[in-house]
Chains A and B, each alone.
Chain A
């Protein structure tokens, strides 16, 4: 049975006029959650977030309350909050809609987090390409200053909070939290070795929490409805609702706010969501959580799109980017596109990733063009294993998870679609000829 279609929390007002303004946000009860939080002691605010089972929406799904509790209470150093709005994982396009259509929801989350953590300075880091989202977000920050939400006093309380927007300049790696901190410090985005974790040694060497845009936009709802009710919307270990980005070969791509019980089949075929594939095509493969998440086969799509549910399949819910590939799509060509991206975006710091990612790309091109032999397939597998073995996820030989992100697609495509790779080698050409993308729509 399909999971029920839920009342959206985050995306509810995306279609309404002037939804991004402070006026509109206040009219629908905006900043009431902040008022409630400001009446509580900071430690109690963190407890409420723990109770809500809110998990980070950036990719790793780490429990938000727990992350907040890692910040040392007795540190003499200033503490910082950094918002990760570097949304760049292929298949992911949800945070930009929050920034464009309801930025105050995120700003309210920032203010609540700042109060809970004792933070007086927050940096909102947006990817450089987000010009329009940055304009909307900056306008909202300006409104919040004028309305006494940011500044010397937060809603009249003797608590100072400043919030600055910073734009990146085109580097996927800066979505990795320590690379983001390096970038905020004005450097190239080279991830840091962990530990120490940012909660202890972060921005400018000070305790820092890095949270995703959607995570912070979820925080006000925890306080507006109460953590128990928020937790109940989800599963045992993942509270609330979540934004899922549907793209690829479907009739209705887009961002949908789903219950944590919603399955991939619900999302792809449901009336409220994707409404199936065009021209009677069939699903061949689905990437469940941004291009780094191991690919799934059609028989695995009855799974809920939730952090825990994907673990037994050796995959991950990641950033919520669901990419559907239909039966006329070439898996080698698809993987080549993904591999090429990681090769382009490797920061160059660790040898396995810097050398391995372009090597993967070259091998895949060779296979796609029918120039490869079976040894190349083994070599591809070996190169991926040298960057990060699989399964399980998370054994990477590199400082950050970009190495894993680059190797996981290769491993999982080879595991589930090996026959198609072999067909390229045996036929000495792409079985899809010059139509590797299925040819549909405007550009066919």
Chain B
């Protein structure tokens, strides 16, 4: 027998979230809630599993292909189960001028991963500009933002992650 997608509590939370989201859009435009609905799914499961995409599509009155199309277009949806921490390092121009390439190299060594690789604990990747150009270099861990990073700050940040 298949394991259900959600526990009863998770199901309740998901249903409430979808109901709230649908109230933000015209009644004949349910599929407009796709982005926030996928976000709700990922907030609960940690990623967007295929049966989750199917459920979102069903609730929004659209096809699972459409859900997959959207989930695969935007980088913040995980179609594979990521490590516990997704580390997004900005290496764009302003950050690189403040040493982001070296910071990334340091992180690669520290985490034992190349950018783009993942293990059980970390998923390390280069990312687009994070709007912290004035407080470079910067990165995000999951969705939390960290700026003006020094070696000491970065070490403390990574080492104290639970």
Contact = CB atoms under 8 A, between A and B. Distances in A.
B86 to A, nearest CB: 11
A275 to B, nearest CB: 14
B82 to A, nearest CB: 13
A245 B130 contact: no
B101 A437 contact: yes
A196 interface: no
Instruction: Choose among B24, B62, B74, B140 the residue with the greatest number of A CB atoms under 10 Å from its CB.
Output: B74
B63 interface: no
B131 A88 contact: yes
B135 interface: yes
Contact size range, B: 35 or more
B58 interface: no
Interface string A404-444: 00000000000000000000000000000000011001111
B34 A186 contact: yes
Nearest to B42: A169
Interface stretch (B2-10, B11-19, B25-33, B114-122): B25-33
A167 B60 CA distance: 18
Nearest to B34: A186
Nearest to A92: B131
Interface in A124-156: 127-132
A188 B70 contact: yes
A186 B75 contact: no
B129 A91 contact: yes
Contacts, number: 163
Contact of A253 (B32, B136, B149): B136
Interface in A335-351: 337-338, 341, 344-345, 347
B126 to A, nearest CB: 9
Nearest to B144: A131
A246 B99 contact: no
A31 to B, nearest CB: 24
A244 B59 CA distance: 43
B93 interface: yes
Nearest to B97: A248
Given A185-B32, A323-B94, A168 B74 contact: yes
Contacts of B127: 170
Contact of A442 (B39, B76, B151): B151
Contact size range, A: 35 or more
Contacts of B31: 185-186
Contact of A166 (B36, B103, B134, B144): B36
B128 A172 contact: yes
A177 interface: no
A185 B99 contact: no
B132 A323 contact: no
Given A164-B24, A253-B133, A443-B103, A186 B97 contact: no
Given A87-B131, A90-B93, A247-B136, A188 B98 contact: no
Nearest to A442: B150
Nearest to A93: B131
Given A189-B73, A437-B97, A129 B140 contact: yes
Contacts of B97: 247-249, 323, 325, 329, 437-438
Given A186-B34, A345-B128, A90 B74 contact: no
A84 interface: no
B159 to A, nearest CB: 18
B143 to A, nearest CB: 4
Given A89-B129, A186-B70, A442-B151, A437 B99 contact: yes
B45 interface: no
A96 B150 CA distance: 23
Contacts of A255: 134
A437 B96 contact: yes
A186 B35 contact: yes
A28 interface: no
Given A88-B129, A170-B76, A189-B73, A248 B145 contact: no
B158 to A, nearest CB: 16
A203 to B, nearest CB: 9
Interface string B84-107: 000010011110111111110010
A168 B38 CA distance: 11
Contacts of A246: 134
A254 interface: yes
Contacts of B70: 186-188
A90 B129 contact: yes
A105 to B, nearest CB: 18
A162 B132 CA distance: 31
Given A128-B74, A204-B29, A248 B35 contact: no
A91 B133 contact: yes
Interface of A: 78, 87-93, 95-96, 127-132, 162, 164, 166-172, 183-189, 204, 245-249, 253-255, 287, 291, 321, 323, 325, 329, 333-334, 337-338, 341, 344-345, 347, 437-438, 441-444
Interface of B: 24, 26, 29, 31-36, 38-39, 60, 62, 66, 69-70, 73-77, 88, 91-94, 96-103, 106, 127-137, 140, 143-145, 149-151
7 contacts: A88-B128, A131-B143, A167-B35, A187-B34, A248-B94, A437-B101, A443-B100
